[in-house]
Structure 1
C-alpha cells in the first residue's frame, strides 16, 4: 500500500514514531507510547540505511531517552544524529541537545565546546540567540563570570527573552561586584523599554530589582527606594515583592539615618516610619528566616531612632509575658535579643540568648532556621566581640552539633575554626579550616579559610600541608584577592620542605602572573635564593638584578643589591663587589644596607689594594724594578686610605734603590714618614722607611 501511493515505509515509521513520542509527552501518555516511538525510530536506524529520515530518527530517539530519564545515553544518540547528517534540519537542534545533556551530566566544559561548535558551524540557525544564552548560563555554573556575561551580551535584542537575559547578566556582574561593567557592557535601559512595550511586567520588575540592588551597592538610597517601588508595582511574584519591600524598608531606614545625622530629624523620622511599615509588611507576610531576623532588628532600631527604644523593649516584654505558648514566647524573646544586640547591650543580649537556649519550647530543629540556633549564633557573635574565644568555640560547637542543617552552619564552622586559631590551638584550627573549605567550596569565605588553614599548618611546621592549602586557593579561586600571596606562601612552604625545584616554579609563577603585586617582589627575592640553593648562581644574580630594576622601591630591592655585592665579595671578585656595594649606597641611601655597604667598601678597598700589592711585589721579586715602581705608586694613588698604600710607597723606595735612583728613593721614604709618622697602625712601616733613609 505504501509503495502504491509513493510513501516509503521509513516515512510511515517515522510519522508513527513522532506521533507516539508526542503522545508519550502528553498528560495522557504512557511508557508504552515511548517504547513504541523508540521501536519505530530504531527500525529506521537499523533497517533503512538510505533513509533521509535517519538523522531525524536519531534526534527523536534522543528525546525518547530524555523522556525515560537516560540523559547520558541521550547525549550519545544526539551526537550520532549530528554525525549522520551535519546538514540536516535537525542537526543544530541535535547539537544543542547534545550540549544540554552534557551539562546535565555534569560535563560543563564539554557543553561549552558543543555550544561553541553550534555557534561556529550554524551561524544562520534560529537557535543562535538561545545558544548564547545557554552558553552564558554554563559559564555561570563554572564561576567564569566574565565569559558568562560576554556570552549573554551576544544574545540578539530581537530574542524574545532578551530583557530577562540582560537581567541575568546584570545579576552575575552584581554578584561579582562589577557594578561599572553593568553600565558599560549591558543595556538595561533598552531592556526595560522593550519589556514595558511588550507588556512583560515581570521582566520589568526583574530589571528594576537588579537596578535596585545596584543602587543598594552604591548606597544610593533614593534610587533604591524608587526601583524597589516599581518592582512592587509590576510583579505578581509574592517572593519578589517581599524581597523588594524588605530592601526598600532597609533603604528607608538608611535614608532616615542620613537625614537624621544631617540634622533633619523631621524628614528622617518620616523615613523611619515608612521603614517600619515596610518591614512590618514583610514580617506579616512571612519572608525568609534571615529576612525576618534583619527585619525584626531593623524595625526595633528604627523604633529606637524614633525615640521609642524603651517602648520597643517594653512592647517585646509585654508580648513575651502575654504569649499563649512557649513557642510564641520564644519568638518574641528572639526579637528582644536582636534589639538588645543592635543597641549594644551585650550583657542583656547574652542573658536572653542563654534563656532561649535553655528553654523547653518545642520547635523543629532539623530545618535551616531555628530560634535556638539563632540564639546560639548571636551568643557566639557577642563572645567573639568580647574576645572570649574558648567560650565562643564551645558555643559554636554545641550549635553545630544541635543544628546540622542550619543556615548559620557555615559561619559557625568558620567562627569555631577562628576561635581555635586565636586560642593558638593551631592543629585543631588547621583541621577545622580544612573541614569548612571542603564542606563549602563555593562559600565566599572558602578561600580565606584555606589561607588561614595553611597559615596554621605553617606555624606548626607542617610545610607540605601548608603548601597544599595555599596552592588550592589559586586552583579553586583564581580570581581571589589572596591568590598572589597564597601562591607565594605555597612556594615558601615548599622551600621549607626542601622541595626547591617546586618552590622555584611557584615563585616564578607569582612573578609572571601577578607582576604588580607585593607578592611578586617577595617571590622574586625568594626565587633568587632558591636558584642559589640549586647551585644556579648566574640565574640567582639575574633574578636579584631584575628585582632591583623592576621593583626599585621594594624593600627587597636593597637586600638583593646588597646580596649581589656579598656574592661577588665571597668569590673575591672585588671590582664587581665594589660596583655592587656602591650601587647600594647610591640607590638606597640612609638604609641599614647602605651603611653596611659603606663599611664593606672599605674592606673591598683593602682587598683590592692587597691584590695589587701582591702583583707589584711579584714584579719586585722577579727583578723587574721599573714595573714594581709603577705598580707600587699606582697602589698609593688608587687606594690612599688603605694599609697597603703606605707599604707600597715604602717598597717603591726599595725598588728605586735597586734602580740606583737614590735621590728619588730618599724623597719616597720622606713621603712615607710624612704620611705615617703619627699613625700607630703604620709605625712599623715608618720605622722601616727611617732605617732605609739612614742607610742611604
Structure 2
C-alpha cells in the first residue's frame, strides 16, 4: 500500500512538473508573440525607441530564429531612433548569436557601416562597407553601400574617389533609390571642380595682375630713382656751377682789387712823373733864368 502511494505521488509530481513546464512554454510563446506584435505596431507608428525596447524584450522571451529576428529589428529600431551606440551593440549581439545563413545577417553587417558613418567614423565605415560588398556582391544593398562609401570619401576630403563610386551607382544601379542622390552628388563634385578651376584661374589672373602691378611699381621706382639721380646729378652740377661761379666772383673780386691796387700805383706813379716833370720844368726855368742873368 505504501509502495503504491509512493509511486502515485511520484507520478503526480512528474505530471505537475510537466504541466508547469508546458504552461511556462505556452506562456513564453504567448508573451513573445504579444510583445513582438506590439513592437511591430510601434515601429509602424514610428515610435522607434519603444519598438526597440519591445523587440529586445521579445528576443529575451525566445530563442533560435525568432530571437535572432527580434534582435535584428531591435537594432533597426534603435538606429531609426538615433540611438547609434545601442543599435551597434544590438547588431553585434545579433551577429554573434545568429546563424551566418540567417536572413538578416547581410543587412546587419551593412547597418554597422551606416552606424559608423552616422558616428563620423568614416574610415571604419569604408572598411565595413568594403567587407560587406566583397562578401555579398549581389545583395540589393550594394548600391547603398557604394553610395555611403562615396559620402564617407567626401567627408574625408577625397572627392575624386567619391565621384567614381557615385558614377558606379549611376551606371550599375539605375533603379536604386540612391540613384538621384548619387547623380546630385556627382554633379556637385563636378560643379565644385569647375568652381575650383575658376578660382584657380582667377587667382592666377590676380597673381599676374599683382605681378604686373609689382613690375609697374618697380619700373616707377626705377624711373623715380633715375629722376632722383638726374635731379641729384643736376643738383650736384648746379652746386659745382655755383661753386665755380663763386670762385669766379672771388677771382673777379681779387682781380678788381688788384686793378684798384694797380690803378692806385699807376696814379702814384703818374703823380710822381708829374712832379718830376714839374721839377724838371722848374729846373729848366731856373736854368733859363740863369742864362738870362748872364
Once residues 115 and 34 of structure 2 are traced to their aligned partners in structure 1, the CA distance between those partners, rounded to angstroms, is 26
1:354-405 CA distance string (max 9 Å, x none): xxxxxxxx99751214xxxxxxxxxxxxxxxxxxxxxxxxxxxxxxxxxxx2
Aligned residue for 1:445?
66
Q: Name 1:596's counterpart in structure 2.
A: none
Question: Hey, what does 1:464 align to over in structure 2?
Answer: 85
RMSD over equivalenced CA pairs, Å: 3.6
Runs of 4+ in 1 over 6 A off after TM superposition: none
The answer on whether the counterparts of 1:568 and 1:574 sit within 8 Å (CA) in structure 2 is no
Corresponding residue of 2:246 = none
What is the alpha-carbon distance in structure 1 between the residues aligned to residue 172 and residue 90 of structure 2?
30
The answer (yes or no) to whether the contact 2:68–2:94 under 8 Å persists in 1 is yes
Question: For the residues of structure 2 that align with 1:363 and 1:525, how far apart are their CA atoms?
Answer: 57
* Residues 468 and 490, structure 1, Cα contact 8 Å, conserved in 2: no
Could you say which residue in structure 1 is the equivalent of 2:149?
Answer: 527
> TM-score by structure 1 length?
0.24
Q: CA deviation at 1:482?
A: 2.1
Aligned residue-pair number: 187
Equivalences for residues 90-489 of structure 1 within 5 A: 366-369=20-23, 405-407=24-26, 409-420=28-39, 422-423=41-42, 426-427=48-49, 429-438=51-60, 440-442=62-64, 444-475=65-96, 476-489=98-111
Q: Map of 1:595-614 to 2, 5 A cutoff?
A: none
In structure 2, what is the equivalent of residue 547 of structure 1? 169
Seen in structure 2, the aligned counterparts of structure 1 residues 547 and 474 have a Cα distance that, compared at 3 Å, is: farther
Deviations along 1:486-523, whole A, 9 cap, x unmatched?
22222222322233232222222222222222211111
Q: CA deviation at 1:449?
A: 0.5
Where does residue 122 of structure 2 map in the other structure?
A: 500
> What is the match of residue 556 of structure 1?
178
| Alpha-carbon distance in 1 for matches of 2:39, 2:66 | 17
Shift of 1:553: 3.5
Aligned residues of 1:470 and 1:490 also touching (Cα < 8 A): yes
Q: 1:447 to 1:567 in 2, by over 3 A?
A: same
* Cα distance in 2 between the residues matched to 1:566 and 1:517: 28
Alpha-carbon separation, structure 2, partners of 1:439 and 1:412: 7
Structure 1 residues 410-431: Cα deviation after superposition (integer angstroms, max 9, x where no partner): 4522431431452466545433
Specify the SS of the correspondent of 2:186: helix
State the partner residue of 2:283.
none
Quote the residue 2:133 is aligned against: 511
Instruction: Give 1:571's aligned residue.
Output: 193
CA offset digits 1:234-265 (Å, max 9, x no partner): xxxxxxxxxxxxxxxxxxxxxxxxxxxxxxxx
Report SS of the residue matched to 1:479: coil
Cα 1:420–1:448 shift into 2, 3 Å? closer
Say if 1:484 and 1:520, in contact at 8 Å, map to a contact too.
no
**Secondary structure of 1:515's partner?**
coil
Higher helix share: 2
Shift of 1:463: 0.5
Q: Distance in 2 between matches of 1:447 and 1:453?
A: 10
Instruction: Indicate how the Cα distance of structure 1 residues 566 and 428 shifts in structure 2: closer, same or farther if over 3 A, else same.
Output: closer
Taking the aligned partners of 1:467 and 1:428, their CA distance within structure 2 comes to 17
Give the secondary structure class of the aligned counterpart of 1:366. Answer: helix
Give, in angstroms, the shift of residue 540 of structure 1.
Answer: 1.8
Q: Which runs of 5+ in 2 are unaligned?
A: 1-15, 213-294
Kept in 2: contact 1:528–1:544 (CA 8 A): yes
Q: Quick one: distance in 2 between partners of 1:549 and 1:474? A: 32
Q: CA deviation at 1:526?
A: 0.8
